[in-house]
Amino acid sequence: MRLSEGVEWGLHCCLTLAWIGNKEPVPTAKLAAHFDVPPAYLNKCLQALARAGILLSVAGAHGGFQLAKAPAELTLLDVVTAIEGPDEAFRCTEIRRSEGCTRDENRRPCAIAAAMHQAEAAWRAALSAHTLANIMTAAPPAAAERTRRWYALIRR
């Protein structure tokens, strides 16, 4: 089991956009250069975030991406779901023989699937407890200033 790279990239991009101040869109190429990741693929990830309503994409010259929500309204779960998709990590393929089951047994999922899904719910709950604003507070204060300074330099 493994989360895709896009999750980390997306989270850092959101954090960066928040720190910059969200006054204007930032193009993918700038962010990719900052993080040293393939620009085209990062673009793909940011597209997914835009489709999910997390980012706002503006086309054309001086375009780019910016946050569509306030940092306090954006949770880690939102970003993870946008990149990874809404599917559960554990998928019950109903491996148990259901022919012999009573009707009542077939109605409810098997105990194993229930337990796995409950654990996954705990994970999702923990993710949604962290907002982007939260992360900004937890991060070292110097990081925000450093990010702003970097952006002021490469802005055009």
Residue with Cβ nearer its own copies (39 or 63): 39
Tokens of 96: 């148990």
Residue with Cβ nearer DNA (28 or 131): 28
Residue with Cβ nearer its own copies (108 or 156): 108
What is the C-alpha separation between 14 and 130, in angstroms, rounded?
Answer: 13
Residue with Cβ nearer DNA (83 or 132): 83
Tokens of 79: 């970003």
Contact predicate 139/14, CB 8 Å: no
The length of the chain in residues reads: 156
**By CB under 8 A, what part of segment 66-125 binds its own copies?**
76, 84, 87, 89-93, 95-97, 100-102, 104-105, 110-112, 114-116, 118-120, 122-123, 125
Angle at the Cα of 58 (from 62 to 134), degrees rounded to 5?
100
Q: Where are the alpha helices (DSSP H) in the chain?
A: 5-20, 28-35, 39-51, 76-84, 103-107, 111-128, 132-138, 141-154
Residue with Cβ nearer its own copies (4 or 53): 4
Q: Which does 65 bind (CB under 5 to 8 A by kind): its own copies, DNA, none?
A: DNA
Q: Assess 86 for contact with DNA (CB under 7 A).
A: no
**By CB under 7 A, what part of segment 12-71 binds DNA?**
25, 27-29, 37-38, 40-41, 43-44, 46-47, 50-51, 57-65
Name the nearest CA neighbour of 120 among 147, 80, 149: 80
What is the binding site for DNA (CB under 7 A)?
2, 4-6, 25, 27-29, 37-38, 40-41, 43-44, 46-47, 50-51, 57-65, 85
